[in-house]
Chains A and B, each alone.
Chain A
Amino acid sequence: MANTGWDEFEIGAMLRTFEGEAGDTVGTLQEDRNYTQNSSFSASVADWRIEKPVFNKDFCIDCQFCWVYCPDISIISRDKKMIGIDMDHCKGCGICVEVCPTNPKSLLMFPEQADEESEIANWPAKETKEK
C-alpha cells in the first residue's frame, strides 16, 4: 500500500473496515472477522515490545481488570474467562500487570526473549505482608 499512487485509492481518505459485507460481525470472534489491510487489526505492533506480559492462569481470579484496562484490546477473554494475550497487538506497556490484583500477580513482565514455560515454573511466591 505504501507504493500506491494518487490515482489508485478510493477518494476522500475513506477507509473500509471489512472486506465485503460486515454480516454478523458482532457474533463473530475478532480473529475470524474479514478485516481489510486498512484495519489496525491487520497490523501487528509485536515488534514494538521490549518486555512482554506472561500470563499464569494458576493465580488468575478472572476479575477482568486487565481486559478493561488494556489500551490495545489485547487481553483475550472468552465467556469472562481470561485465556491469554493477543501478542500481535500487545505493545508491552505493562498496564495489565500494574492493575492485576492477585498475590502473586497473574501477569508479570519479562524480557521479550524470555521462555514462557520456565518463567511460569519459577513464578514468585505469595508475598507476605510484614507486620
Chain B
Amino acid sequence: MKRRNLFGLAAALTVATALSGPLAAQETLKIGAVGPKTGPLAGGGAVTFWPNVQLWANDVNEAGGIDVGGTKMMVEIIEYDDQTNPGETIKAVQRLATQDEADFILAPYGTGLNIASAPIFERYGYPMVTHTAISDQIADLSGKFPNMYFLLGGATGLAGGVVDVLTQMRDAGEIGNSVAMVNVADAFGIELAEAARPQFEAAGFEIVYDSSYPLGTQDLSPVINGARDSNPDAFVAWSYPPDTFGLTEQAQIAGLAPKAFYTAVATAFPSYGARFGAAAEGVLGAGGVFADGDAFKDYAARHEAVTGAKPDFWASAPAYASFQILQQAIEGAGTTDKAAVAEFIAKNDFDTIIGPITWDENNSNAKYWTVGQWQGGVFKGVASTGRDGAVAAMPKTGWE
C-alpha cells in the first residue's frame, strides 16, 4: 500500500522544470510516513495523523519548500499503511530506510507502534519526534534511543491532570469524594488506571467502582450499570475510541449523570461533539488545546481548508508541531545529514503551533495538556502541566 503524494510530486516537478535542472542531483526531500490506515487504530490515525501529514506537506511546498543550507527543497511524502501491526511498522520503516532511501521519517501513530519501531529508527540514525506516544517509560526509552523525543507527555501526568481537576472541583464544593473508574484492558487503559489509582487515593478520593473491560466489547451496559449502582460523584474511563462513544451513549441511557464525567481517547475528536451535540457539554476528556488561542484557530482553519476535516482537540496539533520541529531542525542544521539534524533537535528549543517546546532531561516536552472539557461546542483545555490558556472546569449538569 504505497502511495506517493501526487501533489507534492507535481509541485516538485514544476519547480524542478522551472529551475531547468542545473541543480544538484536531488531537488526533493523524501519524507517517509508510516501509520495505520487499516486495523484497530485506523480510525484514530485517520483523524489525527494522516490529515496532518497532508497539511504539513502542503504548507511546506506552498511556501516553496524547506530551506536546506540555501537550497529550497520540496517534500515528497511516501506513505505506508502498517495495518496497526507493529511488525508491519518495523518493515515499513526498514523499507523506507533501505529501498526508498527516505531523507527523514515521521514518527508513526500510537504508543505501541512508536515503541516497536524506535530501535529501527535508531539503527538507521533517523531522529524520531513522537507525537502520539504516551508512556511512563519515557526516561528508559530516551536512555536507550537518544534520538527519540516525546511531545504528548506521560501516563502519570495525564492521570494526574484528571486527579487535579477533580480535586479542584471537590474543593470548590462541586463534587463529593467518590470516583467510579473503568478502563479498557489494553496497554493504554491498564497503564493509566494503574497510574491513577494511587494518585486518587493520595488525593483522598474513594474509588467506589473499579473495573476493566476487554477491547472491542460490544455491550458496555454492565459496566455503566455497575458504575451507576455505586452512585459515584465522578466517573472516569480510560477508554479507546469505540468504547468512548459506547460508554457515553450507555451513560445517557442508564441515567449515569455525575457532576464530573470523563472519557479518555476520542473525547477530543470533532465527531464526539458532532454525535452527542448539547449532551456533550461538560464532558471531560483526555487532551485539550488552547482552543481560543489564535495559533490553534489559524491551524484549525487551514486543516479544514486543506484536508476537508477538522483537527481533533488533542494530538492533532502536537502531530503537526512534531513535523514543524523536524522542519525547523533541517533548516537550522542547514543539511539533510541525519546526525546533524538529530543534534540540532537535541540542542535547541522550538517554536510551534502548540507554543514553545523545550526538552527536559528525558527528551520529553514537559509542558503538555492533560484534561479538556466540552464547553459551548468546543473542547477546551482545562488542565496542563504548564501550558497557557487553560479555562476553569465546570460541573456537568445532566445529559440534556
Q: Are A and B interaction partners?
A: no
Chain A interface residues toward B at CB < 8 A: none
Chain B interface residues toward A at CB < 8 A: none
